[in-house]
Amino acid sequence: MITKNTGKRINRKGNSCIGILEKHIHETFAGLRVPGEDFVYCNSNDMLNRLDDVCDDENLLELVKNLPLLIKGCSGSGKSALLANWLLRRERYAQRRKNNSQDSEFVFWHSVGCTRHSTNVESLLRRLLVELKDRFEIGREVPIANASLSWELPRFLELASKRGKILIVIDGLDRLLNSENVEDSLSW
């Protein structure tokens, strides 16, 4: 792509700088919820194991037949910390198994409310599609029109799932808003 102002060629991936920053902010948000100097987390192996069980290949087909796993609780009860610690544990386990990046699962973490754009469902879907496209080298273009994002999601997931395992974790799903700042129907 060539810009009008400078005439210089830009790498299309350069347009995803905001997406990279958004991903980093979500990862930082999760990182603040693991045990450390400023945060105390009471580990629950039962809950962590239950999350692992749901994502095991043998159980995944059964889960897809039913509904995705939903974690509910009062504000401040530790849902975000549970998810952040579970994902950290999965990442460490994958590193110990010495999986190369092609064989490891793709994890998409989105925490609604950690940035201004994170509450918007179109921003979430666009970020997810861009990350799927980049990771799995999908030839389809991410739609420009917000209305097309939810239609493209199943296509992107189908193409990506042929190349690897995908894990999508959305923290605070109930707080997603559509472009009219109304609670999203989650029809996608």
| pLDDT greater than 80 at residue 42 | no
* Average confidence (pLDDT) over 73-97: 84
Token output for 159? 């193409």
Closest Cα to residue 115, out of 24, 15, 22? 22
List, for residues 44-63, the tens digit of each pLDDT value: 788 888 888 877 766 566 65
Nearest to 41 by CA among 74, 70, 69, 83: 83
Instruction: State the pTM of this model.
Output: 0.74
Under DSSP, the state recorded for 137 is T
Tell me the helices (H) and strands (E) count for the chain, helix number first. Answer: 6, 2
What pLDDT score does 15 carry? 46
Q: Residue 11: its pLDDT value, please?
A: 40
In single-letter form, the type of residue at position 8 comes to: K
